[in-house]
Amino acid sequence: MASAPEIARFWIDTDVCLDQRSCVIEAPDLLDDRPQSGGPEIISRDLDTHAKYLQLLNAAWACPVSAINVEFADGSVHNGSGDYIKSLCEELG
């Protein structure tokens, strides 16, 4: 298995999010529904296990509007619209 690049932080662009909830399904340890205002809520930023790391990547990849942004330790920021997140999911999953 390839080595996973370190994730510095992640966030949801609420201006883009369509509240499809695919991310909540993919990352139940990190995201939850926020019924009072729609869209997902980050409930944990703890990526201390391989499973949680993959949950985040899969959530970003599954988002139909690429509203989940992931910043890596090298300063690069990716979302599900490009091939980077997809390739990491395939390599590490």
List phi, psi (to 5°) of 53: -60, -45
pLDDT of residue 2: 63
CA dihedral 41, 43, 47, 52 (to 10 degrees): -80
Domains of the chain plus CATH, in order, are 7-92 (3.30.70.20)
pLDDT exceeds cutoff 70 at 38: no
Residues 6+ apart with CB under 8 A from 35: none
* Across 9-16, average pLDDT: 93
pTM value surpassing 0.85:
yes
Q: Six-digit token pair at 67?
A: 């509203």
Q: What digits encode the pLDDT tens for the residues 49-73? A: 999 999 999 999 999 999 999 999 9
